[in-house]
Structures are given as C-alpha cells and as structure tokens.
Amino acid sequence: MLAPPLSPTLATDERVRARIAAGAPVLHLGFGEAGLPVLPGVAERLGAAAGQNGYGPVAGSPAVREAAAGYYERRGLPTAPEQVVVAPGSKALLYALLAVLPGDVVLPRPSWVSYAAQAALAGKRVVDLPIAAQAGGVPDPAALRAVLAPRRGEDGILVLTLPDNPTGTAAPAALIEEVCDVAREHGLLIVCDEIYRDLAYDPDTLRSPAELLPDSTFVTNGLSKSMALGGWRIGFCRLPQGPLGERAAAAVTGVASEVWSSLAAPMQHAAAYVLGEPPEVREHVARSRQLHRLVAVAAHGEVVGAGAICRPPTGAFYLYPDLEPLRPSLAAHGVQTGAQLAAFLLERYDVAVLEGAAFGDDPAALRFRMATSLLYGATDEQRWEALLSDDPVALPWISEALERLGTTLRALG
C-alpha cells in the first residue's frame, strides 16, 4: 500500500489542538495558518453564490481566470486568462505540476514540508540542495551549479518559494537573478510557489522568476495566506505563454479533471472578487502584512535576544531559529536533535514548534520553524483588534505571548 504519513505540519496542529482542548496552556507556534478573520465583503460574495452548484469548467470560470490574469498583470506579468488554472488550493496545483513536468525535482532544503512528499507521490527523485545564506526558498547558487554540472542535458524542475516558508524570508532580486541564470544555462523548468507573495514586507522589490524566465516558469498562488482563507481552499497558477505552457495547461487540467474536477463554484465567485483587488481587499491585505511584519520582527528580537541565530524576517509569518549556540546547555537536558528540542519545548514549556527535519533539514541541527500568526488572539474580536491596531505588539495578549516566548528561550541558555 502507498502510505504517505500525515503532513508533519497538519499532524502537529492536530496534536497541539488536542493538548489545548485537554486544558494545556500551549503557545502554538507550530502551524502556518494566517490566524486572521474573513473580510465580511468576501464572506458576502461567497454566500451570494451558494446557489451555484454546477461543476463548471475544469480550469475555472472565465470570470475568475480573467481576474487572476489581472492580478498577475498588476505585478508586472502580462497574462492571458488561458494561462490561468484555479484549483482547491495551490497544494493541488503544485502536485499536478510536479507530476506532469519532466525530470527530477531540485529542492532547496529546508523547504516547505509538502514538496518532497508530493514529488515522492508523483514517483519523482528529489535532488536536495542547501538554501542560500541570505534567504531561504532558493538554493545556494554555487551548490546549484555544482549539482547540475554532471547532469548537463537532463530534465529537471527547480522549486522555489518566494517569500519562503519555513524561513520567513524573501530572496532578494539579485539572488533570484543568479539562480535564474543557472536554471537558464541548464534548461531547468522553474516552479515558483508565490503563495506568500503579497505578504512580502517590501512587495515592490520582489522579483518573480517568471519575469526573468517567462517561457519556463510556472507560478502558484492562493488566497490561504494573504486573505487568511486556508480552509476555503482557493489556489491558482500561471502557466508560461507558448507551446510549453499550452502543453502543461492540457496536462494540469487533465490531472484536475480526474482528481478534483474544479474549484467549488461559490469559491470561484469569491476569488474573482478578491483577485479584482477592490480597495477594501487591498486595505485588508496591507493591514495583514503590517501585522505579520510587526509581530514577526518582535518575535525575532526575542529569539536573538535569547542567543539564537536567526535570519531577520522579510516576508510571511515565520522564523527559523538555530539554537546551536545553546547546544551545551541543551545537552544537559538530554536535547541533542531538532526533534528532541521540539519535544522538550512542548513537554516542559508548552511551546509548540516544528523541528527542521520536517522541512528536510539536518535532523541533528537544533533548528525549528515557528509561526507567529496564531498569536493574534483567541477570538475573532481580538484578531480584528490586532489587525486594526497601529501597535499590535502592545496589545496585552500579544505582548504576553512574546514575553513568554522570550522567557522560555532564555531559560534554555
């Protein structure tokens, strides 16, 4: 039997929520959910479309594909609606792309938990590469060159994440350019996961590989993070223009037609509204971005203040601390690996994080991913207050959580 385990991030969330339900005061930093309420205007659109119960076209309705094309155009990527496919989550589109595109999957590590698992499901070999020093989501260009040298002429799919999960960093334009140069030299296709694109703290400086390699880059996006609609499962992708894009569109919609048929019609209706980016949507995304930034930056202060090494966050709502400097004192508690560290934090301090090994990192490294997005409040009322506040870090429930994080990490040293 093909038996993939439950995704580590979903498994951790279920375990932690059971612990919370049993009364434990868990500081939940283990799950990458955006942690914000639904914008009422979007919920209204969804409700108004509840009567739309047909399957509809596999790639999506003309209205939603046109809206997504406009979304890309406004980001400097001229796009025809025929280049867009919508689906129940970008996860489904990533899987379809990895399954239909030719060659091994070249993967920066650590990287999001599902790429390697999806590659395995698609029967693909994974070639691991270390991430760059400045930022995650892209491989170190020298390591990429070295691994590709003996593979000249072989097909390959390079997966990039911009901005990145688990490191909470957006690769700078110069680094993207360097990686794209190597991909071009070796004829690699690129799948760029831009689900956090609108949560880059400085979105205007973001450089999508699709701008540099328009004929060979596939971009995936969704509304799970920027609009906090993870459970609504709205994903979309942009296929390249030209013959490769056309063949990929046929192949991806072929997979879609056999696996999920189409994105639920009411969701497409809500997505078309969001992707048209009316002022209230822009305002909501801008406020969300600001909240994620302020809390992640404050949490970063606590992490480095406790002696950990950590890249400063530049997008999304993650940090990826390295507690190597604390290894001697952790060893005194019997903590020698990332998994032992995550277990120790949960059992001793009720702090939930996800060890680096879940992202393909060295299991011996004392690294973990922490998401700061579940700190915004226990109720929708608190989350709205956080979202609308100019100084959310000063709100008592957020400042207490950050203080608890700092106290816990300092106790490890």
Nearer Cβ to ligand PLP (90/372): 90
Query: From CA 100, how far away is CA 118, in angstroms rounded?
Result: 12
Using CB under 6 A, count the residues that bind ligand PLP: 13
Query: From CA 303, how far away is CA 407, in angstroms rounded?
Result: 10
Comparing CA positions, the residue from 129, 202, 127 lying closest to residue 162 is 202
Provide the CB-side half-sphere exposure for 230 (13 A, CA): 12
**Residue 398: phi, psi to the nearest 5?**
-80, -45
| Residue 195 binds to ligand PLP (criterion: CB under 6 A) | yes
Nearer Cβ to ligand PLP (131/335): 131
Work out the number of other CB atoms within 10 angstroms of the CB of residue 278.
10
Nearer Cβ to ligand PLP (122/304): 122
CB 330 within 8 A of CB 323: yes
Query: From CA 183, how far away is CA 106, in angstroms rounded?
Result: 11
CB 227 within 8 A of CB 215: no
Q: Which of 30, 35, 110, 235 binds ligand PLP (CB under 6 A)?
A: 235
* Interface with ligand PLP in residues 204-223 (CB under 6 A): 222
Work out the number of other CB atoms within 10 angstroms of the CB of residue 241.
15
Nearer Cβ to ligand PLP (10/24): 10
| Residue 110 binds to ligand PLP (criterion: CB under 6 A) | no
CB 362 within 8 A of CB 128: no
User: Segment near ligand PLP (CB under 6 A), from 21-29, 87-95, 287-295, 369-377?
Assistant: 87-95
Task: Please report how close the Cβ of residue 165 comes to ligand PLP at its closest, in angstroms.
Answer: 4
Query: From CA 179, how far away is CA 158, in angstroms rounded?
Result: 10
Nearer Cβ to ligand PLP (37/235): 235
| Residue 201 binds to ligand PLP (criterion: CB under 6 A) | no
| Residue 230 binds to ligand PLP (criterion: CB under 6 A) | yes
| Residue 288 binds to ligand PLP (criterion: CB under 6 A) | no
User: Segment near ligand PLP (CB under 6 A), from 88-96, 151-159, 329-337, 355-363?
Assistant: 88-96
| Burial class of residue 23 in the structure, from the number of CB atoms within 10 Å of its CB (0-12 exposed, 13-18 middle, 19+ buried) | exposed
Query: From CA 406, how far away is CA 389, in angstroms rounded?
Result: 23
| Residue 91 binds to ligand PLP (criterion: CB under 6 A) | yes
b/e map of 39-77 (b: 16 or more CB within 10 Å)?
beebeebbeebeeeeeebebbbbebbbbbbbbbbeebeb
| Residue 165 binds to ligand PLP (criterion: CB under 6 A) | yes
User: Segment near ligand PLP (CB under 6 A), from 12-20, 86-94, 205-213, 283-291?
Assistant: 86-94
Rounded (10°) angle between helices 90-100 and 243-259: 120
Q: Which of 35, 89, 108, 266 binds ligand PLP (CB under 6 A)?
A: 89
* Interface with ligand PLP in residues 16-55 (CB under 6 A): 32
Q: Which of 66, 178, 193, 302 binds ligand PLP (CB under 6 A)?
A: 193
User: Segment near ligand PLP (CB under 6 A), from 84-92, 143-151, 247-255, 398-406?
Assistant: 84-92
| Residue 313 binds to ligand PLP (criterion: CB under 6 A) | no
Nearer Cβ to ligand PLP (84/393): 84
| Residue 8 binds to ligand PLP (criterion: CB under 6 A) | no
Name the residue type at position 360.
G
| Residue 253 binds to ligand PLP (criterion: CB under 6 A) | no
Contact residues toward ligand PLP (CB under 6 A) are: 32, 89-91, 112, 161, 165, 193, 195, 222, 224, 230, 235
